Structure 1
């Protein structure tokens, strides 16, 4: 059996920025003393005059990005999710969101898969925070292919965009000729009739693993990849709920305010069904190997399978 190719989406971010930089001279990349970790160092090597290291001053970086956007540039402000969404929230809200400026935020090292850096750096709240900012697009790609497509889509979109990337190398699942990325549109990866499993980010591949286990038990789940959490593909979410009668959401994020909450907001108004939210259950993470943490917090394929079985 061939080994599945794995790539960290932060690597995809850095590589996609270089490709964009070759095509568009208005692309400017900002970083907060983390270019090696966020992989914007790849862009810096290719275009040193268009890379700005703002130092360990994320709030100031967002202000600089806002200023650049106001002059017609397309800035990609980059840092860890904990700093980009957490530390700099006020500046993102007031300097970027309020004037609806064309700033793209590349937030890497999101979720518990940050691993050994521990709870202080494992941002499980960023999707919830960014969803609340009016006009902010929120994207959480599932693999290398999707991450690269997301960066390009973010550039083409006029307005603020928050992109969530991971530290851990994850399986490439979208490497196929018919793959198409469209902002606000979910992707049905597997048809099914017994339950709709709606996943985002690194949990998409784990949800597919869980679905394969469920099939062996005679349960036929639909699996949906939601890469754009805001705007959410409400039409797909509603139709999936109506078709299956039960919905499970899976995310490497708090069950409060993330994908699960966005799905429930839609369903309680349009298609009330039972929903099981799988994610980080109102707790902080801890230091440890990323793969072990994913299992410990119930986000691996086997754990998702067991939780869906119990739910059904």
Structure 2
């Protein structure tokens, strides 16, 4: 393309537009998209990045992925060092063109095939490294929804447990001989150790922290989750075959003796009784938990009671999920049906 001729054409066009009255200019509105497409070529030669970006934002989907300008826009992002944006654009263009059953031109096909470049790989590695430095509260807001669609840290962690329990449920036959919570926790821990490191977090079992219920030494939590060396959640588990107020209150009270600086507490209850007793035992568990003799800082907020969260998590027919309030802290309760 002759740059001099392009400049002359652009100048002639701009002078023509300037000579029009307002009514005549309004008549050109329906041509805006076509005018934008032509302007892109001129602005590309002028390397006017600001105006190019402005026009791209105004293009309709069909024009944005018009094969005449795909290479121009893709290279505009590449030249600006926006390799991830360029990659997203070219893959979206491919998806759009395939949806139209439009034959993709060889030069566009080449861009698509070569889109994952060394520079893109380096850019993604840098982005991933930056992601892992984010605070847990910030990180959960950018995790792809297909991995975890919760955007608040409390529920994000809870959803990790829910997804893990679903895997355990799939292997229910292999759990038939398990009777101790430690064995269930071993399975839970093994699966979570495959999930949580993706976010730069770590989970460990029975770490000695805080003080024990007897006040004589460090307490032993079932599971703890750390991010950047800091504890972000404590997990306590128990097995219930039927109502057991003593066991329930012992376990839930134990959580309050570990570390009072932790903001998130999770109770995992493995129900191993009969199927018909599942909901009844869940209700009795909640009653017993609420009547636990908590310390003043952890007293159960009877006025607010429990908030049922089960509906917020899909495919949880075999679970009950709730939240309770304890001073300025929240406890999450995950009741899992492992009935035989």
Structure 1-normalised TM-score? 0.29
Larger relative helix fraction: 2
Which protein has greater RCO, CA pairs closer than 8 Å, 6+ apart?
1
Structure ID, larger Rg: 2
Larger relative strand fraction: 1
